[in-house]
Chains A and B, each alone.
Chain A
Amino acid sequence: MHAVTSSIFERGRTGAPTFAEAAEAHLADVHAYLVYLTGDRAVAEELTAATFERALRSWRRFDPRRGSARTWLCQVARSTALDHLRGEARRRRREDVYAALEPREHAAPLADDLSPALDAALRSLSAADREVIALRVLLELDSSTAARLLGISPTACSTRLNRALQRLEEKMRDAVAA
Chain B
Amino acid sequence: MIDHDAVPPAEDITRFYQPELARVIGKWQMTEMMVLLRLQPASGERLDHAPGQFLQISLPGYGEAPISFCSSPTQTDSFELCVQSVGNLSEALHDLRPGDFVGVRGPYGHGFPVEDMRGRDVLIVAGGIGIAPLRSLINYMADRRRDFGRVIIVYGARNPSERLFVEDVEAWDARDDFETWFTVDEPDETWTGMTGVVTVPLREVEIDPARTTAAVVGPPVMYRYVAMELLNKQMAEDDILFSLERRFKCGMGKCGHCQLNDLYVCQDGPVFRYTQLIGRTEAIEVWAPDEQKG
- Tell me, yes or no, whether A binds B: no
